[in-house]
Amino acid sequence: MVSGVDGYYCDSARKASTLPLAPENDALTEEIRQLIYAKSRNKYRILFAIREDTVFVLHVRHSSQAPLIGEEVDEEEEF
């Protein structure tokens, strides 16, 4: 996990739902949103899904990494 990111979160699913959709959203049936976390010169995309009142963090990627594609995205996987 990215150091310091554990204290950096949205305090409610309602607030999380206002964050932008992730590029990966188009490839999946479930809505995927992203939060950009910056630490020094590094930026990370925190990908998450919202189910009812719970926010599930799915992946943390460095902003220089390409969006998840193909086999990297497994929408059948339960979280």
15-37: pLDDT as tens digits: 888 899 999 898 888 899 999 88
Q: What is the pTM of this model?
A: 0.73
State the burial class of residue 78 (Cβ atoms within 10 Å of its Cβ: 0-12, 13-18, 19+).
Answer: exposed
Average pLDDT over residues 59-79: 70
CA 30 remoteness from chain centre: 12
Average pLDDT over residues 2-25: 73
**Could you give the CA distance from residue 26 to residue 64 in angstroms, rounded to a whole number?**
20
pLDDT above 80: residue 7: no
**Residue linked to tokens 């309602």:** 14
